[in-house]
Structure 1
């Protein structure tokens, strides 16, 4: 490679790095802009934001327009000042929901582990997948492990199915329209069969994963509802097939259902009235 072409590569790489830094800087500035608002100052104009953030008015205007388009900012048509948008309220509500669920569920999860002596986990929906936010491992030597924060498929896990079965049709369609991976020899990937499984979960109120997500492991899970009756998560009990036959797994239906109902009640759900 000649010196001219080598110089061109160096300049191009420098430009790419510079562009990346610019984008990151814009994101950081947008975050600073959002944090400029407070309870004492709910509306701020472009000039004030420019002075406070130490950036040009044109930059403030460009960022504000982008944030407005995403619903994170709103502009008062009378004063032309900006205020936080309802999009942020929605995001905050999701965080609060998750934290409330995690906090309220915790003591009941410990109780369920004492009853079953198996691994107990709490999962929440994350678009077309689920995320484990609590994992209380069994004290037995051979046990199921599920790392907190890791995303897993919804279609082949018991907690995922317990959540999926009660989601709107379009959400289920989005999941089943994807390319479903065969994770183990027992994984069901046929959309028609999965829909029948979800129908059964709706009828019986719990879901089972028979070595479909991880070979050698079984899990049973039931949904958790919030005050509006919406399914916001699922509690699962999992363990190795050597210890958990399908009959043994079905024996957990009672304590599992009692646990998820107790958590749901803590979140404001009234099961007898259905709301």
Structure 2
């Protein structure tokens, strides 16, 4: 039998609070747009003081709003923002599916669709190469911004202030080729903006090269990146750059489906 420590008890307490907060939010799944503390406590079978404490926390995060006249609570815009983010990612993945398959067929290399995921990028769709030797990638896999083609091409089109913040942080040396110097990385990002795509040469993983182009939404914000990746023994830098045209065409076609309007020529940004 395991003896529970104070740390274990604290952890269980935190998890319990998270669970209760989720229950509070789910209480609004019915027809009532606004619910008071007393009614929430009754429905959830917990003390009013606990409901009040949870509501204050959820208010601070914009997950709940309070009607100042009645004191009742309703779901907040913070949840709407998260829901919109999930929906946008689902829309992006759906709209990109056929175009990613076409790009895989043209290049015969693994094609990936990545999106921003906090301090990293996350791959939300993968079309594997049909070659016997190919890059192994899974949906949900995360990778750094600074050492990947997909990450750098998204990073390049962020506002300068955000770029500075992200590259001033400690940048891990993934391989001997990884660029970790902020000034050199800034120059690389400038070149990416000029070309409209990014190239990765064994900087995140030895034995792999990749090329990526940005995906824009209707507001011209970069919401993702399309990448083509393969092993170095098959993908010379010349071969990799030869994928730029079909890659850019695919990325901009996906962008057009999301409402963006832009040209399709290589080198435009």
Query: TM-score per shorter chain, which class?
Result: over 0.9
Alignment partner of 1:225 out of 205, 216, 220 = 216
Alignment partner of 1:214 out of 205, 216, 223 = 205
2:246 equivalent to 1:238: no
Aligned equivalent of 1:175: 166
1:129 and 1:24 map into 2 onto residues whose CA distance is 25
2:69 equivalent to 1:81: no
Aligned equivalent of 2:47: 56
What SS does the aligned partner of 2:29 have?
coil
Following TM superposition, by how much is the alpha carbon of 1:245 offset from its aligned partner in structure 2, in angstroms? Answer: 1.1
Alignment partner of 2:188 out of 197, 201, 217 = 197
Aligned equivalent of 1:4: none
Structure 2: gaps (5+ residues): none
1:62 and 1:47 map into 2 onto residues whose CA distance is 13
Check conservation: 1:128, 1:171, Cα contact below 8 A: no
Moved more, 113-122 or 130-139: 130-139
2:109 equivalent to 1:118: yes
Aligned equivalent of 2:90: 99
1:58 and 1:108 map into 2 onto residues whose CA distance is 53
2:136 equivalent to 1:145: yes
Check conservation: 1:101, 1:267, Cα contact below 8 A: yes
2:12 equivalent to 1:33: no
CA deviations 1:215-250 (Å, max 9, x no partner) are 111100000011111000000001111111111111
The alignment yields a C-alpha RMSD, in angstroms, of: 1.6
Check conservation: 1:128, 1:174, Cα contact below 8 A: no
Following TM superposition, by how much is the alpha carbon of 1:39 offset from its aligned partner in structure 2, in angstroms? Answer: 6.3
Moved more, 84-93 or 21-30: 21-30
Following TM superposition, by how much is the alpha carbon of 1:38 offset from its aligned partner in structure 2, in angstroms? Answer: 3.4
What SS does the aligned partner of 2:87 have?
helix
2:223 and 2:180 map into 1 onto residues whose CA distance is 24
1:93 and 1:82 map into 2 onto residues whose CA distance is 21
2:155 equivalent to 1:164: yes
Alignment partner of 1:260 out of 220, 235, 251 = 251
Aligned equivalent of 1:5: none
2:145 equivalent to 1:154: yes
Moved more, 236-245 or 170-179: 170-179
CA deviations 1:29-64 (Å, max 9, x no partner) are 110110111362110001110111011111111110
1:33 and 1:209 map into 2 onto residues whose CA distance is 46
Q: How many residues align?
A: 263
2:30 and 2:213 map into 1 onto residues whose CA distance is 40
Q: TM-score, structure 1 length as denominator?
A: 0.92
1:61 and 1:186 map into 2 onto residues whose CA distance is 53
2:10 and 2:233 map into 1 onto residues whose CA distance is 55
- Higher Cα radius of gyration: 1
Aligned equivalent of 1:132: 123
2:43 equivalent to 1:43: no
Following TM superposition, by how much is the alpha carbon of 1:26 offset from its aligned partner in structure 2, in angstroms? Answer: 1.5
CA deviations 1:127-182 (Å, max 9, x no partner) are 22111111111111111122221211110100001100001223212221122122
The equivalences for 1:13-32 within 5 A come to 13-32=4-23
